[in-house]
Amino acid sequence: MIPSIPSIGWSPAPGRTLLLPNMGQVRGAVISPPTQLVWPKKTSADNLDYSLDPSDWLAGTNDYLSFIESVEITTCLGEADDLSCLWSSVINGMACLMLGSGQPGTQQNINVKLLTQQGRRAAISILLPVSSALAATDPQKTPILPNGTPIPPNAIQLPDGVILLADNGQPLLIA
């Protein structure tokens, strides 16, 4: 299998990175960690990166994270200031999400589905407390393609600013 290529110019924040525990090594089965994972608190005004490090989960397997299949915030109420996933990408071998906004004083539940190069799948549920220290705000704007696709920091960009795209219209990534 192919290890991740380090992303140049941007790294996930270590203080907001959770180590995924070893959940078993069954290929093809969807597995979940045995304990509830909790990311550090944010305010509604923050746009912050949060990451999942699969190194313990995949230790000794010669397998690497390949793709984030989905990110679902199950506690959203349909409000403008709901917690939003502004982009998600595999960066430096980790599942990274940029999260913005969120109802102050709430606990948000984020479900992330991961896929590895060898076909292992994980369904991860993470709690994210949103502090009531600041008022609710809409998520900040992040770069997007003309079709509305978010541009993560590891998208391949030409010197003239053009983002390289795959045949499916998604950005090509350094991953």
The dihedrals phi and psi of 125, each to the nearest 5 degrees, come to -115, 125
Tokens of 163: 């983002």
Q: Are 38 and 129 a contacting pair, CB within 8 Å? A: yes
CA atoms of 106 and 23, how far apart (whole Å): 28
CA distances from 108 to 57, 87, 127 (A): 24, 17, 6
Tokens of 97: 């999400």
Residue with tokens 């089965």: 29
Q: How many CB atoms lie within 10 A of CB 75?
A: 16
Query: In tens digits, what is the pLDDT along the chain, a chain of 175 residues?
Result: 566 666 667 889 999 999 998 876 555 666 777 789 999 999 999 999 999 999 999 999 999 999 999 999 999 888 889 999 999 999 999 999 999 999 999 999 999 999 999 999 999 999 999 999 999 999 888 899 998 999 999 999 899 989 999 999 899 988 7
Tokens of 35: 């304990």
CA atoms of 75 and 63, how far apart (whole Å): 32
The separation between the first and the last C-alpha atoms of the chain, rounded to the nearest angstrom, is 13
Domains of the chain are: 14-130 (2.60.40)
Q: Are 57 and 20 a contacting pair, CB within 8 Å? A: yes
CA atoms of 128 and 37, how far apart (whole Å): 9
Tokens of 25: 């090594």
CA atoms of 45 and 99, how far apart (whole Å): 10
